[in-house]
Structure 1
Amino acid sequence: MALFLLIFAVCLLIIGGMVLILLFSRTPRYRTEPEQLLELFDKALDNQVGETEWNVVINYPIRHDDYLDGIRRRAQHLMQEHGRPWQVAQGKSLLDKTGREELAALRNHLASHQRLREKRRDET
């Protein structure tokens, strides 16, 4: 009987601890920052990004920054219009020539916007 009570108490302690951990833990949040988008765009322009990496970042909505979400949606649209994911396995580019040109322009726009934002932050 003592063994039963000991096992019951240990199980109750473990289950209770797990319930408390689950009650007080938060859901993990993923925040896409401008640097991550710039890095992804650079990789895509250098033919070093895979379809999975592209989709993980570009298909995840950015709720904390409307400007970044607009950039993400433009990149998503570029993939729909100019994407060639079937050629990545052959070592070729994820986007066709027009798509790479438009992605380079989008990347430069985001970089200049980020520099302007940092300059304003430094002035205050």
Structure 2
Amino acid sequence: MALYLLVLGVCLLVIGAVLLALMTVGTPRYRTEPKDLLALFDKALNSQVSEAEWDTIIGYPIRHNDYLDGIRRRASRLMELHGRRWQIAQGKPLLNQEGQAELQVLRDHLAAHTALRQT
């Protein structure tokens, strides 16, 4: 009987500890920041971004910052208009030349906006 109570006590302790841990841990949240978009745009301009990485960041709405969400939507629109997804496997750029130029302008605009907000 003592062994039964010992096992029951250890099980209740373990289950209680797991429940306590699950109740205190918050939901993980990913917040896209300007530095994340700038890094993605730099990779895209240097032809080092994969389609999956682009879609992961650009396809996820940014609800905490309307300005960043506008930049994200403009980048998504650039992909719709100038995207060349089928050529990534060949080591070619994600966007055609016109798209690359527009992405460079968008990147510079975001960098300038971010620099202004930091000062």
SS in 1 for 2:48: coil
Shift of 1:4: 2.4
Does 1:5 pair with 2:42? no
Equivalent residue number for residue 48 of structure 2: 48
Q: Which runs of 5+ in 1 are unaligned?
A: 120-124
Q: Distance in 1 between matches of 2:5 and 2:82?
A: 67
State the one-letter code of the partner of 1:9: G
Q: 2-side partners of 1:45 and 1:98: how far apart?
A: 12
Q: With structure 1 as the length reference, what TM-score do the two structures score?
A: 0.89
Task: Provide the rounded CA distance (Å) in 1 between the counterparts of 2:85 and 2:15.
Answer: 46
**3-state secondary structure, aligned to 1:62:** coil
Paired residues for 1:76-91 under 5 Å: 76-91=76-91
Percent identity reads 62
Figure out how many residues of one structure are paired with residues of the other and give that number: 119
* Aligned equivalents of 2:87, 2:9: Cα separation in 1: 59
The gaps in structure 2 that reach 5 residues or longer are none
Counterpart amino acid of 1:72? R
Cα distance between partner residues in 2 of 1:13 and 1:62: 41
Q: Which residue type is aligned with residue 99 of structure 1?
A: G
Q: Does 1:24 align with 2:24?
A: yes
* Alignment partners' CA distance in 2, 1:88 and 1:3: 64
Separation in 2, partners of 1:59, 1:41? 14
Aligned to 1:36: 36
